[in-house]
Amino acid sequence: MHPSSCDTFVALPPSTEGQCIIFGKNSDRPCDEVQEVVYFPAKDYDADEKVECTYVEIEQIAHTYAVVLSKPAWLWGAEMGANEHQVCIGNEAVWGRDNANSEEALLGMDLVRLGLERADTAEKAVDVITDLLEKYGQGGSCMEDDCGFTYHNSFLISDRKEAWLLETSGKYWAAEKVEGGYRNISNQYGITTKIDKEHPEMREYAQSKGWWDGNTEFSFATVYSFLTTARIESAGSRYCEGKKLLEKSDGCMTAEAMMDILRDKESGINMEGMFMTTGSMVSVVPANPALPGVHYFTATPDPERSVFKPFIFVENAHLLKETSSPSFGPDDPVKIKPRFQSKPDRKHPLFVKHELAAAIIESYKDKGQKITERMRQLEKESINEMEKILTQGIEEPDNLVNLFSSSVQKEMSIYGKS
């Protein structure tokens, strides 16, 4: 079994405390892969410009929105992220009856980034992603070192007022709107009979393949997925555990409660081993459009041993470029065709220091405990500061320009003391 897994969560009123939507995702990837957090400002483009994604070039649009992304350092797309309109997207690998395309096309992670750059609501992101699927298809290796590792994608997408679950199989897809409560996805199809949007030929295709008789009630998950594979079973248990954890916080879900879910090792949600949680994200998005959303990222593996650091979209946030280390900075990482070039060292300064600290936590109980306590204290202080902003709004936007990078510096100074 080639394990690839992720877990994505969303909680909406009345499940959350206050009138807000809380989004969370663990990105589980090969344990030696570096995940970085990058910010790209909004941008205008000339007609006929192209954008080079991980493997393929596609048409650019006239205007892209500002985005903050958590992404494997080697590719163009992202595992998860948010945009200036408070749309959040995370994707998951899913396997169905149709084989995933191994030919180079758009990766699910490219679609996450494109959805964020091009859509100002969750529903529009569904349209953007499905239009791109129709035009360019999905496919290509999702790992730098494994040419044959491909999958279909499911997406959890939220904005200020609702969430959408989008599940795909090749170019076919179904989408379900979530207007309240909570929802989580693991590496399996989860849309059953409530389908709010769909590919016009999706049912016809299933019928032509003999997966559906055309008469019984149509359930996307039943029709399109393998019913028994080890992959689905392990995802299934994580999905059930994740649902239970969401249920526990139902009515009182907060950023911290979502972080606790992402840190849960017993459920397998916080994954360890050759595949592990290499980056995590939690977003708090108030329903009130006058209030900012706060997006927390770790940029380091294992959320249990990481600090969730806040980012807020403010004017001039692109000044991040000049003030933070290159890994959190401005330019698209060099696009590398993994199969043809040797693997460069992509470890950013935070990653390097975090690795050393993780080794100390592992080996020296007392010393490790002190580091962990300081990390949690830093996180708690920043959550408390963000709570004020989430309820009262922003007084001095300029003070938040370096919010993320200054949190990174504080975290690194904790590791420096170790």
pLDDT digits (tens, 9 = 90+) for 125-183: 999 999 999 999 998 877 776 666 677 899 999 999 999 999 999 999 999 999 999 99
Active site residue 240: no
206 vs 214: CA distance, rounded Å: 9
**Among 6, 20, 53, 142, the one annotated catalytic:** 6
Query: Given this model, what pLDDT does residue 345 score?
Result: 78
pLDDT tens digits, 9-35? 999 999 999 999 999 999 999 898 999
Low-confidence ranges of the chain (pLDDT < 50): 1-3, 228-232, 319-341
Specify the pTM: 0.92
Domains and CATH numbers, the chain: 6-417 (3.60.60.10)
pLDDT at 143: 73
